[in-house]
Amino acid sequence: MRSLSPVLASLANVFRIPMTRPAIASTTALLQGTSQQTSSFSTTPSLAKRKNAGYKPDKRVTLIRYFLYHPLTPRPLRFSRNRYLRHWTIHRAWNLYQNQLRTEHEMELQRQQQAMSAACEELRTGCGERGARLFRLAMNKKGVFTDLFPIEYGRLQTDSPPKDGWNHEWKKI
């Protein structure tokens, strides 16, 4: 039986898989009478080892283990060969459709940006002195950030709604 790699040994330790690891010394070491170092791979952070603070498990690993083996976690899907092929085909078609929508949206945004650039360039060069003045006024950035930052940044951008819900009394000043 061959010995485990340090990565496999650490994974077995993290997920508490019992692994027997026989100590196998090399033939040259046996002939010479010296033993090979058999210290295992350590997953303990080095600072925790130095301070003798005791072992503290990694919270990420604990959370993963909690959600993987929680009693309310549904079992993984097990498909027959045909059902798996159907699932994969539908999933692939959905991803292709989403990619097509994303590409169309990006092309539309790119078209709009190029149209705005062309309009600005026409205003700058093709409309004489009055057009150049309008171009300079349009490109002026004074007064854009009057309060030093836009109103959208009044609260940090998050993926979740605020604790107090929607403010129906809010009005733009």
**Separation of alpha carbons 148 and 99, rounded Å:** 38
**Separation of alpha carbons 150 and 171, rounded Å:** 15
Over residues 42-99, the pLDDT tens digits come to 565 565 555 555 677 888 888 888 888 888 878 878 889 999 999 999 999 999 999 9
20: left (phi over 0), alpha (psi -120 to 50) or beta: beta
Q: Is the pTM of this model over 0.95?
A: no
- Both tokens assigned to 130: 């009055």
Domain map (residue ranges) of the chain: 6-68, 81-142
| Predicted local distance difference test score (pLDDT) of residue 103 | 97
In which band, very low, low, confident or very high, does the pLDDT at 22 lie, cut at 50, 70 and 90?
very low
pLDDT greater at residue 95 or residue 2: 95
**Separation of alpha carbons 161 and 9, rounded Å:** 43
Q: Do the Cβ atoms of 9 and 19 come closer than 8 Å?
A: yes
**Separation of alpha carbons 61 and 14, rounded Å:** 8
